[in-house]
Amino acid sequence: MVACFTTMLLIANVEPMLILPYVKILHPYLSRKPTTQNDVQILTKTEKILELCLPLMSHPSKDFLSALEMDLMKIIMFSHEIVVEGAIACLGALVNKVSKRYKLVWDIFKRYYTYVKKVSFKIQDFETF
């Protein structure tokens, strides 16, 4: 399965228009919780493929865009750091080039920043003991 996603990513790097018809098929892979290394690789490759292909979509449905944004936000807030970087890049491409919902990015940034501050304060408190 990882080999298939690697191949699709290579094709998307060269000619993303060839992968464009399959973007909606790739979307459910963002919802899977990665439990193995293969799952993590599939998720990161899916994020990169979507990052390359989403800006090329013409007139995607609002429901599809909202679902993608929500899944990417969940990844950013609740997943391991390995997949967060790709989710941020994918969400950035989606918002900058397609949906233009900048407030959404600002809200997720504020939530993420608040979370990081809480964690850093807890670490500092733990180190003082």
Query: Which one is predicted more confidently, 18 or 119?
Result: 18
pLDDT digits (tens, 9 = 90+) for 90-103: 999 998 888 888 88
33 within 8 A of 74, measured Cβ to Cβ: no
Instruction: Kindly state the tokens that stand for 12.
Output: 């998307």
Question: pTM value?
Answer: 0.84
**Is the pLDDT confidence value at 129 over 90?**
no
Average pLDDT over the chain, rounded to an integer: 90
The runs of H, that is alpha helices, within the chain are 2-14, 23-26, 37-53, 62-78, 81-94, 102-128
- What was the pLDDT predicted at 49? 96
**Is the pLDDT confidence value at 126 over 80?**
no
Within 10 angstroms of residue 107's Cβ, the number of other Cβ atoms is 12
Instruction: Kindly state the tokens that stand for 56.
Output: 């090329």
- What was the pLDDT predicted at 128? 67
Instruction: Kindly state the tokens that stand for 39.
Output: 């799952």
**Is the pLDDT confidence value at 80 over 90?**
no
Within 10 angstroms of residue 109's Cβ, the number of other Cβ atoms is 12
- The alpha carbons of the chain give a radius of gyration, in whole angstroms, of 16
* Residue 59, Ramachandran bin (φ over 0: left; ψ between -120 and 50: alpha; else beta): left
Share of the chain above pLDDT 90, in %: 52
Domain ranges of the chain: 2-100
**pLDDT average, residue stretch 10-23:** 94
Coil, strand or helix at 76: helix
